[in-house]
Amino acid sequence: MRYSPRLHSFLLNLLAWTPYLLYIGFVVSINRGPIDYETFMEIGSRALTGEPIYGGNSYYPMPTVYIFAAFRSLPRPVSLTLWLLLPVLGAWLIAGRRPWVLLFGPLFGHFVGGQSAGLAMLGLWGWRRFSDPDKISGGLWLGLLAFKPQLAVFPVLFAGWQWLNYLRRYKRIPLQFLGWAGAFLGWWMVGELFLPGWVSQWLANPRPISERALAGILPRTLVVIGITESTPILFWGLLGGGAAGILLAAWWFNRRRMPFDHWLLASAIFNPLLHDYDLIQLIPLLDSPLRQRWAVLSSIPLWGVILFAYTNNHAWYVVSLIPPILLCASLLAARNKRLQAGCPPDNPGRKESNHLA
């Protein structure tokens, strides 16, 4: 029988999809979703019935609460299936319908936890794909990150630097910025329409930093050794100094260049607002065989934790290894590419179009 690449791809995808589909069938059959899904639906129920939104485990901006309310309005089996399935389907499509992405541990962790970072992943994919500052579309995609604002901090900082450089060079405001500003303003106004003053209520209920969900190896390590927000000067001083050192080292190793992908991977090492399931935001960056290979290999320990030690908070430390491994692999690949292109080690080489210099 002749080898068929399409059949081979189909069988690999079927195998990779199996645990996801089995889990959906299981939770629908027992009518009980993951705990975070249930929390989101409870928040959505409050919005539908006019009860107070903020308090307890409600840490989400009002526009995101409306999404919870929309899913709460659906028949429960439909709501549960779509909530769990759509982010995985989005990641699979972003990855070109290749099965490797279904083996990325943070995606499965996001899935079984019923989490809510799918729009941030999609928005980052769109912004990278439509990156021309002269077009409004990239800014609109970037605006999707506002539904989970902690995942917008470092992408918007990078985009802001690019917008400032564009303004200095061309003496006009980039359309991409206008698209992002319009999306952000609309996002804020929609919330204000239904709950005036929602921003102050939302900010008054911050989520505490805890060991369980931290994705960044630097803040997680500080918490593990007992340096927490209760000692703010020491915690934020060490975190800020470590962040500066990581960014400087990545910038220097890459010959005084900071491409966006390196910027975001570096931020995932020290960002105290990034949780383990939020690492699905890195999936749009995994666009080369090398990054895909290391993404799967580095998340093998996480699969073990999800399957056999899900309730062990200390075991989840393994998720923090993924961003530094991916950053090191990307930096080494970029260096090897420069050397193969004939750039001597002390030559910065050709300028990249998407970098901080």
d(CA 76, CA 305): 29
Retrieve residue 210's tokens.
């805890």
Q: Report helix, strand or coil for 258.
A: strand
Beta strand 258-259 with 355-356 is: antiparallel
Provide φ and ψ at 211, rounded to 5°: -65, -40
Provide φ and ψ at 108, rounded to 5°: -70, -35
How far, in whole angstroms, is CA 304 from its chain's centroid?
Answer: 21
Length of the chain: 357
Beta-bridge partner residues of 259: 355
Beta-bridge partner residues of 356: 258
Q: Report helix, strand or coil for 55.
A: strand
What letter does residue 116 receive in the DSSP assignment?
A: -
Retrieve residue 195's tokens.
């709950």
Retrieve residue 305's tokens.
């934790």
What is the secondary structure of 326-347 as a DSSP string? HHHHHHHHHHHHHHHTT--TT-
d(CA 341, CA 351): 14
Low-confidence ranges of the chain (pLDDT < 50): 346-353, 357
d(CA 200, CA 141): 26
d(CA 282, CA 66): 25
- For the chain, how far is it from start to end, CA to CA, in angstroms? 55
d(CA 47, CA 53): 6
Q: Nearest CA to 278 among 119, 160, 129? A: 119
Provide φ and ψ at 302, rounded to 5°: -65, -40
Residue 355 host element (H or E): strand 355-356
Query: What is the reported pTM?
Result: 0.91
What is the secondary structure of 188-239 as a DSSP string? HHHHHHHSTTHHHHHHTSPPPP-TTTB--HHHHHHHHTT--TTSHHHHHHHH
Provide φ and ψ at 259, rounded to 5°: -60, 155
Angle between helix axes 76-94 and 118-129 (nearest 10 degrees) is 30
d(CA 178, CA 174): 7
Calculated CA dihedral for residues 188, 190, 196, 202, nearest 10 degrees: -50
Please compute, for residue 22, the number of CA atoms within 13 A of its CA located in the half-sphere on the CB side: 7
Q: Can you list the alpha helix ranges (DSSP code H) found in the chain? A: 5-30, 35-49, 62-73, 76-94, 105-113, 118-129, 137-143, 153-170, 175-194, 198-203, 217-224, 232-253, 260-270, 289-298, 300-308, 322-340
Beta-bridge partner residues of 58: 55
d(CA 22, CA 178): 44
